[in-house]
A and B are shown apart, each in its own frame.
Chain A
Amino acid sequence: MTSETMSGESASPESMTSAITLTAVTKTYSAASPAALQGVNLDILPGTSTAIVGPSGSGKSTILRIIAGLEDANGGRVRLAGRDVTTLLPEDRGIAMVFQRPLLFPHLTVLDNVAFADRAAGLSRAQARKRARKHLELVHMAEFGGRSPHSLSGGQQQRVAVARALAAKPSVLLLDEPFSALDSGLKGDMHAMIAEIREAVNPTILFVTHDRDEASAMAERIVVLENGQLLQHDTVDHVFHRPASLAVARLLGGKNAFEGTIENGVHHSGLGAVAIDADVEPGPATLVFRHEAVTSTLRQPTSGTDAAALATRHADAAACQRSGPRALHGIVTATVQRGPRREVIVRVADAEVHTEAAPGRPLAVGDLVTVSLPCEALWAVPRQ
């Protein structure tokens, strides 16, 4: 079963059972502290890569440690590929874990570190080393086999740690903030390496990260966790653009949230009336959209009025697609440069909208701008 997932022949119907299933998993470290995990249910399909994101202390690492068997859950079940492993020891679960620290065994060479899992499984030294060489090649560290771990850089050590974990032929590869100690350039290399590994051996990957960019670079699905509760488990796109709650939007760095009410598919708030395509219940709701999806452009005297007229005309149309994208007029109150991108904060009516500057002349404070809200970017979550 484990070899199937590793060799990429995971398409057989039996192996399509979930790679990881958590049922009502609860964890409390001590009676005094709040529960680290509160009845978490999770289902991960084989061959997928899933990121767990959430603030510090949200229970991200605890989930991984419970799946790995390094912590006992106080309640609930853990199944790996349909097999109940709740009471099994870590070595009997068929998982492998890469930690934030590389934790390469300092008394073994790089090659023997990678050969460790096979040695533990009873293979001869020669066989284990032969297999280890292949795994070192997979992470582009073949020429470092004879070196001592402490002679490697942090990035190289983490590559070896990944190779060492893969050599255990895990049905599930768990990564606990594996690249958080690396600088951003090296992180990019690591993400490329993980992509290559997925192509080569297609393991099921579940990883913890506090980096939203890393989550979307390495995973197709994201699990959002806060205070030990699973808030959302969905595709990367949905988690960012269709958050289940305001908390999810905030945790993923959403900056635009406007409280208001929905009537006939139109959200009314300090921002004005905004038509939403999403099928949302009438009543109190918060309008959310990613600032990256909204652009500010310098207002052209003629087209500006047109856009405004257009917007007003369709203000209470039933859906965004029918009314066309909403354009808002405002004045720039602040700009923040973020790498190559420029975030522009625009005051529209009573509200402040975070937007991205459109390419062209840099916007400055006091500029009159048009903010265009694409229909796809708009979303409403129930007001809490």
Chain B
Amino acid sequence: MTLSTSNVDMERAQREQRERRMPGDAGRPLSQSRGVMRTARIVSTVLVALWFALPFLPLVLWSFANSWSAPDVLPMSVGTDGLTAAIANGAVAAFGDSLLLSLIVAAIATPVGAMAARALSRHGLPFGRLVSVLLFSPVLLPPFAAVLGINVVLLRAWVPPEIGVILVLVVVAIPYTTFSMLVAYAAYDDGFDEAARTLGATSRFALWRIHLPLIAPALARSAFLAFLVGWSDYLVTLVVGGGQLVTLPLIIASSASGIGNESSVAVLSLSAVIPPLILLGLVSRARNLNPGRQS
């Protein structure tokens, strides 16, 4: 009898699974556009896609153009001169430095942001509002003024420039990691941790086997944002780094200020664009395992 109940249960579960569609899901009457609106939707999608993609076309063409002058629509000769020039300019080392810097910033800012968000998402944090204002203040300050001011402090404190860059960039990244983790924790069910503990798991075991796997997708998104802060920074690396740290954006800027090296600038720009795109692909592939708060 119980067996047949289970089968009925299973069929019901499968049916519910099929029918579990949200009101805004594609294919629902309310989300389907018709007639003129349908045309407008397709046209606007194509326009936005072009807006995002078109700038990359000349970039790709320039990367492989050995020579390309005004009246010609396409490069006159194709080759790897740009790549050679970029490498000669120190692109490989700069790429490595950029990668290392961004990874370090992400590795520090992500756990700090996650812990801050965890604390803020729980009620009863003393001075919670003040803490969140402080955490988000780096986003509000005008970067140039702040960086110049901080640089004086760092110089006086004899902080090595590389450490200084990391310190400042981590502070810049923390609001982003904190905010993205706050969103994740708002949907996180503490019951999972409680269930784990009542089943005999120590806090460490519950953290590694339950908590972290459940928030992993959010951590990946958060780390991606922190990575971008390090990867795209120019100002902090230039001012605080004082030339000690030469990252990709610095090389791009110096190359772009010269004349006649368009193709090497294009190669550098592409190499700056590709890693975040790969990361974005990886992050969006991360399966969201946490079903959120169960009702």
Contacts and interface: CB of A to CB of B under 8 A. Distances in A.
Interface of A: 68-70, 89-91, 95-97, 99, 101-103, 105-107, 116-117, 119-121, 140-141, 143-144, 150-153, 155-156, 164-165, 167-168, 174, 186, 189, 192-193
Contacts of A151: 13-14, 17
Contacts of A95: 198
Given A107-B214, A153-B16, A90 B197 contact: yes
B196 A116 contact: yes
Contacts of A102: 294
B292 to A, nearest CB: 10
B195 A120 contact: no
A35 to B, nearest CB: 18
A197 to B, nearest CB: 13
A255 to B, nearest CB: 33
B212 to A, nearest CB: 10
21 contacts: A68-B198, A89-B203, A90-B194, A91-B197, A91-B202, A99-B191, A101-B191, A101-B294, A103-B192, A105-B192, A105-B196, A106-B291, A107-B213, A107-B214, A120-B200, A140-B3, A152-B13, A165-B198, A165-B199, A174-B198, A193-B2
B289 interface: yes
Given A70-B198, A90-B198, A106-B214, 7 more contacts: A69-B197, A91-B197, A103-B191, A105-B192, A105-B210, A120-B209, A150-B291
B144 interface: no
A107 B214 CA distance: 7
A150 B17 CA distance: 9
B202 A97 contact: no
Interface residues of B, number: 34
Interface stretch (B4-12, B58-66, B79-87, B128-136): B4-12
B17 A117 contact: no
Contacts of A168: 198-200
Contacts of A119: 209
B71 to A, nearest CB: 60
Nearest to A143: B6
Given A150-B291, A151-B17, A120 B201 contact: yes
A156 B197 CA distance: 22
Contacts of A89: 197, 202-203
B121 interface: no
4 interchain residue pairs of minimum CB distance: A153-B13, A120-B201, A97-B198, A90-B197
A164 B13 CA distance: 20
Given A103-B195, A151-B17, A153-B13, A140 B202 contact: no
Contacts of B289: 106-107
Contacts of B3: 140
A151 B16 CA distance: 9
Interface string B273-295: 00000000000000001110011
A119 B205 CA distance: 10
Contacts of A97: 194-195, 198
B200 A121 contact: yes
B201 A140 contact: no
Q: Which of A90, A140, A165 has the most CB of B within 10 A?
A: A90
A120 B199 contact: yes
Contacts of A144: 10
Interface string B208-227: 01100110000000000000
A90 to B, nearest CB: 4
Given A101-B191, A106-B291, A192-B2, A153 B9 contact: yes
Nearest to B20: A150
A301 to B, nearest CB: 49
B21 to A, nearest CB: 15
Contacts of A156: 6, 9-10, 13
Contacts of B16: 153
A25 to B, nearest CB: 18
B187 to A, nearest CB: 13
Contact of A153 (B12, B192, B291): B12
A116 B201 CA distance: 8
B189 interface: yes
Contacts of B194: 70, 90, 97, 99, 103
A48 to B, nearest CB: 20
B4 to A, nearest CB: 11
B200 to A, nearest CB: 5
A318 B10 CA distance: 61
Q: Which of B12, B213, B294 has the most CB of A within 10 A?
A: B294
